[in-house]
Amino acid sequence: MDFLRPASWEEALAVKAEHPSAAPIAGGTDLMVEINFDRRRPQYLMDLNRITELAEWEVGEESVRLGAGVPYTRIVEELREELPGLALASHTVASPQIRNRGSVGGNLGTASPAGDAHPALLAADAEVEVASVRGSRRIPIDEFFLGPKRNALAEDELIRCVHIKKATGPQQFSKVGTRNAMVIAVCAFGLALHPRDRKVRTGIGSAAPTPVRANAAEEFLAAALDEGGHWESGRTIAPAVARRFAELTAEACQPIDDVRGSAGYRRHAVSIMARRTLGWAWQEYCDGVRSRSCA
Ligand SMILES: Cc1cc2nc3c(=O)[nH]c(=O)nc-3n(C[C@H](O)[C@H](O)[C@H](O)COP(=O)(O)OP(=O)(O)OC[C@H]3O[C@@H](n4cnc5c(N)ncnc54)[C@H](O)[C@@H]3O)c2cc1C
């Protein structure tokens, strides 16, 4: 196995063009497991850690540009305000050691249905910027996941960064596992309220062949909030509305039975997470409305 160490982004793209089978390595927390267990034996490993821009983030007017290699620890510590959903999800990943190395770029590279960043990226509304020597393009997160561990990258492309809308309202993330830490999600759920656009977005993890949004649930809840004047008043959401949101969210799942949980359990757990996260997010939103009207 040859180890390639490009010093710049341009050099990395040239290396990938010359050796499309080269496996990029960022934190190595997925890839080294694959290699150690003999599930993968790439001819070339391409270390991305010398490329400083991949480890940088930048907060813009509307969105955050998150370099593909920024580790979870820094998202938790440095971007909690701008990306609260992703920060919550990052906090649930593995252990401090893995969070110090593992990155959102690596999570997207692996494209596991159970990747914890994915529900938060779906809910927040993200675009993945990928590039090759042929040029660069932005892939909406809804179009990025093609199947279990399959993503929309061409073989000569690398992930450069993710553009994630800055939170304009509350965001939540919830994950079910067999214990509190170091656990692959049995299922997970991300929710983001976008009050400025009067929109709701969701992300479901580990309950379908790919991470998915619950589109019908989002539309139902956004319409209910609009029609009831809830965005303006911050009034409590009726239990029947929260229940229907949860049901529609569960209907978006296409889970399987596996060693981590049954399909029926996953569907049920996702509905519970949808209702709970809505309660938490709406409470936060109402507190904001009340403090603005008191000011
Ligand atoms: C003990 C343990 C616990 C874990 N727990 C969790 C958990 O709770 N939740 C969770 O979601 N994950 C978990 N993981 C998996 C892993 O930590 C995450 O998926 C992490 O985000 C991978 O990031 P990385 O930088 O280490 O990726 P790497 O291992 O370096 O790469 C992963 C894949 O992405 C590709 N890749 C990396 N960077 C790029 C790039 N810029 N462009 C294109 N392709 C790229 C690689 O070639 C590889 O195929 C765990 C792993 C371990 C070992």
pLDDT tens-digit profile, the chain (295 residues): 999 999 999 999 999 999 999 999 999 999 999 999 999 999 999 999 999 999 999 999 999 999 999 999 999 999 999 999 999 999 999 999 999 999 999 999 999 999 999 999 999 999 999 999 999 999 999 999 999 999 999 999 999 999 999 999 999 999 999 988 888 999 999 999 999 999 999 999 999 999 999 999 999 999 999 999 999 999 999 999 999 999 999 999 999 999 999 999 999 999 999 999 999 999 999 998 888 776 5
Q: Which residues, including other chains, have CB under 8 Å from residue 276's CB and lie 6 or more apart?
A: 174
- Ligand 1 atom nearest residue 24's Cα: 47
Residue-level pLDDT at 91: 97
Output the residue whose Cα is nearest ligand 1's atom 44: 109
Q: What is the pLDDT of residue 290?
A: 80
Beta bridge partners, 47, equal 25
Residue 28 Cα to ligand 1 middle (Å): 6
Read off φ and ψ for residue 159, nearest 5 degrees.
-85, 125
| pLDDT, position 180 | 84
Classify strands 2-4 and 126-132 as parallel, antiparallel or unpaired.
unpaired
CA 108 to ligand 1: nearest atom = 34
Burial class (CB in 10 A: 0-12, 13-18, 19+), 257: exposed
Give residue 110's Cα distance to chain centre. Answer: 12
> Residue 48 in contact with residue 54, Cβ under 8 Å?
yes
- DSSP strand pairing (199-205 vs 187-194): antiparallel
Q: Is 33 in the pocket of ligand 1 (CB under 6 A)?
A: yes
Residue to probe by mutation, ligand 1, list 4, 19, 25, most atoms within 8 Å of CB: 25
Q: Is the CB of 26 under 6 A from ligand 1?
A: yes
Residue type, 158: L
Q: Is the CB of 132 under 6 A from ligand 1?
A: no
**For residue 295, what pLDDT is reported?**
59
Residues in the chain: 295
